[in-house]
Amino acid sequence: MRIRRCITLLCTLGTALTVAVPASAASATTTPTDGSRASGTDHRAGSTIRSHEGAAAPDTAPRPLAGVAGMDVSSHQGNVNWAAAWRAGARFAVVKATEGTSYRNPKYGQQYGGSYNVGMVRGAYHFAIPSSSSGATQANFFVNNGGGWKADGRTLPPALDIEYNPYGSICYGLSRAAMAAWISDFSKTVHARTGRHPMIYTSTNWWKQCVGDNASFGMNHPLWIARYSSSPGPLPAGWAAHTIWQHDDSGRFPGDQNVFNGSTAQLRKLATG
């Protein structure tokens, strides 16, 4: 998850952010109470991207060969067998921590701590519901419930999952200017709390429709691009390169399949700040 205007990956990795993340598991709420979300559900990153944008057939889409393989998970994956995922080649994991202002992943502790314990670089993401509360409110909820960071070379910057609304209008009823302002509010709050700008998970089509040509986020937000095809494709305005590519929602690892755009050393540099 990360966006930028820099031409090279190292340029993006060089934009520093700093702060501490809670190492302990967030307390769990099993049933979301957000007014805008369906009761008892847990949106999984990638599912609305696939339903809106389609995907290449699994048996014809080439798997990415370059980079570092990883995964992202939510409560849908339950208690993950992290040792098996490591043996299968996963070297990083991004775990859903929160959604909106009331949902906390009940499996967060097992997933966030478990991935770290087997040797992976790990991180946490927040699924945004911009129609339900301000960016600052959701950023504080996220950081308070696991969405932090520490300069240990093993913890990725906090990530914002901003994409198609699974509960209503695609852009959550916001104009492009209002959506950009919401994302900025979230980012500034995360940065103030953790010292890192959040990675941004999105798709190019959604960004064009709901944020438009605003290129300001590409300067210091790593881009986590979602596209289920043989390449990441065109990127949103402001980014010359992606940091992580989510290329499928099933495969050899539990959850969504990802690849980091660089080496293991560069991945750890991103985690270090």
Burial of 175 (0-12, 13-18, 19+ CB in 10 A): exposed
Residue 152, classed as helix, strand or coil, is coil
CA 144 to CA 228: how far, in whole Å?
32
Total count of residues recorded for the chain? 273
- Tell me the two tokens of residue 175: 């104009």
Known catalytic residues? 72, 161, 163
From residue 11, how far is each of 2, 134, 135 by CA, in Å?
12, 31, 27
Measured distance CA(3)–CA(164) in Å, rounded? 18
Under 8 Å CB-to-CB from 225, ≥6 apart: which residues? 201, 202, 203, 204, 232, 233, 235, 236, 242, 244, 245, 246
